[in-house]
Amino acid sequence: MLDTLAHVPLAPFTTLRAGGPAERLIVVHTASELAEAAKLSQLVGEPLTVLGHGSNVLPSDAGVPGTVLVNRSKELCIEPDGTVTADSGIALQDLFLKTVQHGLTGLEFAVGIPGTLGGALASNAGAYRSSIGSHVTAVEVVEGGRVRWESADFLRFSYRHSILREEQGRRIVVTRVRLRLQPGDSWRALCDAREFQRQRILKQPPPASAGSFFKNVQDPDLARNLPNLPLALREAGVVPAGFLLEAVGMRGFRHGGAMFSHRHANFVLNVARATAGEIRELTEIAKQRVLERFGKRLEEEVLLIGRWA
């Protein structure tokens, strides 16, 4: 029987350090505990939220109804043919280090993304022109109280998106993930990862944040009309959200305890015990400014969970 805690503040379970309580919270340590808890909750029909490392969520101050499962499962199996099967709660960092030790490469990009594999699937996490979705071959999911394996197509990955972010997908829990990685030069992969990490340290502000708050904008017309945008981005038709935020004066802009970083215009920081409401108000100001100036509605990359007005 798993311990269920009532009215547990979620701020300590998020990297933004904000948000209200979970109605019920259960910490699971294995994939089978995660599956059992998810099945029970789905059969009862209550709201269910899985949290990995909470590095891509903002829970509302009013709290999160139903059950929040904190996923600490972390088993990993690497077969002689290179097939990797991992629990969804494994940290991306550990997954990279353990697979590279077996001569498997491809996850260098993930070093420095402070989340779990399950959380990475939800937003198809990526960096340096790679993303997790392209390495996944199959997932074990719990849906409607039943456990089954599905191929990677089931998750419908696209840029910072998967079915897990959609209304219908919020009831799906991923318990285990099968990945295909390339046999390669481990030393080279470690050097690449170290270089990516170095670049992150230069670009990214210290905590507390949830990484980039908004998704970049894919809009060739807008990109063409921004003379200051670097040529490569103009040609790719991609406008970084940080570029638009900076243009409307959000870099360093503060509201209550929340602030857009000076170092990275798309990072929202909790600098002084910000409430989730303050963070949301700040990001709504930013969205409004970008809409008025560029006619573009920024979309949150960070997931707003719980009871929002």
Contact residues for ligand FAD, defined by CB under 6 A: 15, 49-57, 71, 88, 113-116, 118-120, 122-123, 125-127, 164, 173-174, 204, 209-211, 303
Q: Which is nearer to ligand FAD, 49 or 275 (CB)?
A: 49
Q: Which is nearer to ligand FAD, 104 or 142 (CB)?
A: 142
Could you confirm whether 171 is annotated as catalytic?
A: no
Q: Which is nearer to ligand FAD, 106 or 118 (CB)?
A: 118
- In whole angstroms, what is the distance from residue 218 CA to residue 229 CA? 13
**Of the candidates 70, 74, 67, which has an alpha carbon nearest to the alpha carbon of residue 40?**
67
| Closest separation in Å from C-beta 126 to ligand FAD | 5
| Closest separation in Å from C-beta 3 to ligand FAD | 19
Beta strand extents in the chain (DSSP E only):
5-9, 21-28, 48-51, 57-59, 64-71, 76-78, 83-87, 104-105, 126-127, 130-131, 136-143, 146-151, 173-180, 182-183, 217-218, 238-239, 254-255, 258-260, 268-270, 303-305
Its sign, for the CA torsion 299, 300, 301, 304, is: negative
Active-site option among 123, 209, 212, 261: 212
| Closest separation in Å from C-beta 230 to ligand FAD | 19
| Closest separation in Å from C-beta 56 to ligand FAD | 4
- In whole angstroms, what is the distance from residue 292 CA to residue 285 CA? 11
Q: Which is nearer to ligand FAD, 14 or 289 (CB)?
A: 14
Active-site option among 17, 24, 72, 160: 160
Q: Which is nearer to ligand FAD, 49 or 289 (CB)?
A: 49
Contact 135, 126 (CB under 8 A): no
Could you confirm whether 160 is annotated as catalytic?
A: yes
Helix boundaries (H) for the chain: 31-44, 92-101, 117-122, 186-203, 220-224, 231-236, 241-247, 276-294
- In whole angstroms, what is the distance from residue 99 CA to residue 130 CA? 17
- In whole angstroms, what is the distance from residue 269 CA to residue 267 CA? 6
Peptide bond into 208 cis (omega under 30): yes
| Closest separation in Å from C-beta 142 to ligand FAD | 9
**Catalytic annotation, residues:** 160, 212, 301
